[in-house]
Amino acid sequence: MPTKNYFDNTEVAFKLKSDSELERAYFLFKMISKEPLVRIGTAVTKFALNINLPVESLIRATVFDHFCGGVSEMDCMTTVDRLYDVGVFSVLDFSVEGKEEEAQFDATAKKVVELTHFAKNKEAMPFSVFKPTGFGKFDVFRKKSEKATLTESEENQWQQIVRRYEDVSKTAYDCDISLLIDAEEYAMQDAADMLCEKMMEKYNREKPVVFNTLQCYRWDRLEYLKEHHQRAKEKGYKLGYKIVRGAYLEKENERALEKGYPSPICESKKATDDNFNEIMTYIMSNLDDISLFVGTHNEGSTYLAMELMEQMGIAKDDPRMWFGQLYGMSDHITFNLGEMGYNVAKYLPFGPVKDVMPYLIRRAEENTSVAGQTSRELSLLKKERNRRKL
Ligand SMILES: Cc1cc2nc3c(=O)[nH]c(=O)nc-3n(C[C@H](O)[C@H](O)[C@H](O)COP(=O)(O)OP(=O)(O)OC[C@H]3O[C@@H](n4cnc5c(N)ncnc54)[C@H](O)[C@@H]3O)c2cc1C
């Protein structure tokens, strides 16, 4: 591991934040560090939004503006440009979740196609992204994953999902933009993986255009990766993978218990960390075949990647190797990596306040004292407040 702590520089980490934005972030992380407050806060917010209480402006002024780029893609452009000025790329993420209508799935796919065309002429945006359940119903993915027989209507819906995957993948190929596909819940992921493999087989012939995501809290992912690598070699196409630890830990363990199947999740945090690092090392050792997007806020894994790059003679700006963090989190990693010349991007979510609530709730939950990320964010914010004498 590099001996110096490269991420300690809070002046670099928070250089885009004004004093008032820094104070807001400090206040916010202090609030969401309290687990009971997050639990009560999310319940009250959901209720208030459902009965149309006017809480949107309050949400906008607090969590929304901290974790999102805006309501529309145009709102995000100032942030995209400011990030690019300091060496950080943007992945615009239309984070509308929980939709169930075919017309809404079409609208989301259309939005991803539009954003991909837009990104073609915007150097600051080398990636597009979408979530499988943004393009179709969770239950259709789930039944397809279980190899259950679909009703005629479900079969039609599946064909529409395939068409939407095809539309965005072809657009990404035509625009020469890499397309990241997020991973979601275990119960529906097999069908999403299978469809993604088809897109890769078609569009990754010359280079990786379509990227799937491996959630390394799943103990079966290294084996899956190795098998997929073998299949891709036999069929003559390249792979692209984003690796993350995984965001649905409690839900997965609860569902496995409820349905009586073994949990797909590693037995401990340490096992997840080891799995993440092993998967990352495997990909980096096969960079000619597999491009990598390391999506993490974990300093240890980021250091390991930097160390391996040095050992393996991989240039900091090698186009096959990317780092990524979520907007509003771990700026100390993002901005210091950018300053050192690594390829690094922020996932920048946007969408109507009500529709991005599931995303915001996941962020609040993963930042409680229980999940353990807040204390680090808070201590860095505190350090920078002291440095600025606020
Ligand atoms: C750019 C980017 C893209 C992302 N895309 C996705 C995506 O497509 N799909 C998705 O699911 N998530 C995605 N995430 C979210 C990611 O999964 C979370 O950021 C992650 O859960 C936090 O992990 P970390 O690597 O930052 O590090 P850490 O904070 O060190 O790790 C926390 C994670 O470790 C795991 N963990 C914690 N406790 C245990 C335990 N007891 N047993 C086993 N494992 C445990 C969990 O996954 C937990 O979230 C993305 C994140 C980023 C930065």
Query: What's the alpha-carbon Rg for the chain, to the nearest Å?
Result: 20
Strand pairing of 321-326 and 89-94?
unpaired
What amino acid is encoded at 197 in this protein? E
Residue showing tokens 């400090």: 26
Atom of ligand 1 nearest to the CA of 298: 27
Residue 149's Cα: distance from chain center in Å? Answer: 31
Residue showing tokens 């974790």: 67
Q: How far is the CA of 53 from the centre of ligand 1 (A)?
A: 33
Atom of ligand 1 nearest to the CA of 181: 8
Query: 113: which residues sit within 8 A by CB, 6+ positions away?
Result: 167, 168, 171
Q: Name the residue of 217, 244, 274, 279 whose CB sits within 8 Å of the most ligand 1 atoms, as the mutation to test its pocket.
A: 244
Label each residue of 313-379 as H, E or C. Answer: CCCCCCCCEEEEEECCCCHHHHHHHHHHCCCEEEEEEECCCCCCHHHHHHHHHHCCCCCCCHHHHHH
Q: Does residue 266 have its Cβ closer than 6 Å to ligand 1?
A: yes
In this structure, the number of other CB atoms found within 10 A of the CB of residue 370 comes to 12
pLDDT of residue 376: 83
In whole angstroms, give the CA distance from residue 37 to residue 368.
Answer: 9
Q: Does residue 347 have its Cβ closer than 6 Å to ligand 1?
A: yes
Q: Does residue 134 have its Cβ closer than 6 Å to ligand 1?
A: no
Q: How far is the CA of 268 from the centre of ligand 1 (A)?
A: 13
Q: Does residue 351 have its Cβ closer than 6 Å to ligand 1?
A: no
Q: In 206-315, where does DSSP find H-type helix?
A: 221-235, 249-259, 269-284, 299-312
Q: Whose CA is nearest to atom 33 of ligand 1?
A: 245
Q: Does residue 136 have its Cβ closer than 6 Å to ligand 1?
A: no
Residue 385's Cα: distance from chain center in Å? Answer: 28
Q: Does residue 3 have its Cβ closer than 6 Å to ligand 1?
A: no
Strand pairing of 344-350 and 210-215?
unpaired
Q: How far is the CA of 329 from the centre of ligand 1 (A)?
A: 12
Q: CB–CB of 92/80 below 8 Å?
A: yes
Give the tokens for residue 83.
Answer: 């990030």
pLDDT of residue 33: 79
Q: CB–CB of 196/181 below 8 Å?
A: yes
Q: How far is the CA of 115 from the centre of ligand 1 (A)?
A: 26
Atom of ligand 1 nearest to the CA of 300: 30
Q: Name the residue of 90, 245, 325 whose CB sits within 8 Å of the most ligand 1 atoms, as the mutation to test its pocket.
A: 245
Q: Does residue 245 have its Cβ closer than 6 Å to ligand 1?
A: yes
| CA angle (139, 180, 343) in 5-degree steps | 155
Q: CB–CB of 378/96 below 8 Å?
A: no
Q: Does residue 325 have its Cβ closer than 6 Å to ligand 1?
A: yes
> What SS3 class is residue 239?
strand
pLDDT of residue 371: 55
Q: What is the pLDDT along the chain (390 residues), one digit of tens a residue?
A: 554 578 989 999 999 999 999 999 998 888 887 777 677 777 777 777 777 777 788 888 888 999 999 999 999 999 999 999 999 999 999 988 888 999 999 999 999 999 999 999 999 999 999 999 999 999 999 999 999 999 999 999 999 999 999 999 999 999 999 999 999 999 999 999 999 999 999 999 999 999 999 999 999 999 999 999 999 999 999 999 999 999 999 899 999 999 999 999 999 999 999 999 999 999 999 999 999 999 999 999 999 999 999 999 999 999 999 999 999 999 999 999 999 999 999 999 999 998 898 888 888 877 765 555 667 888 899 999 999 988
Give the tokens for residue 113.
Answer: 């196609």
In whole angstroms, give the CA distance from residue 71 to residue 355.
Answer: 10
Give the tokens for residue 296.
Answer: 């993490």
Specify the DSSP class assigned to residue 241. E
Q: How far is the CA of 366 from the centre of ligand 1 (A)?
A: 9
pLDDT of residue 235: 98
pLDDT of residue 62: 82
Taken in order 85, 63, 180, 162, the sign of the CA dihedral is negative
In whole angstroms, give the CA distance from residue 346 to residue 327.
Answer: 5
Residue 71's Cα: distance from chain center in Å? Answer: 18
Q: Does residue 277 have its Cβ closer than 6 Å to ligand 1?
A: no
CA distances from 297 to 314, 336, 365, 366 (A): 21, 13, 15, 11
Q: Does residue 263 have its Cβ closer than 6 Å to ligand 1?
A: no
Instruction: Tell me the backbone φ, ψ of residue 294, rounded to 5 degrees.
Output: -90, 100
Q: How far is the CA of 51 from the centre of ligand 1 (A)?
A: 32
| CA angle (281, 319, 199) in 5-degree steps | 80
Query: 132: which residues sit within 8 A by CB, 6+ positions away?
Result: 141, 181, 182, 184, 188, 189, 192, 195
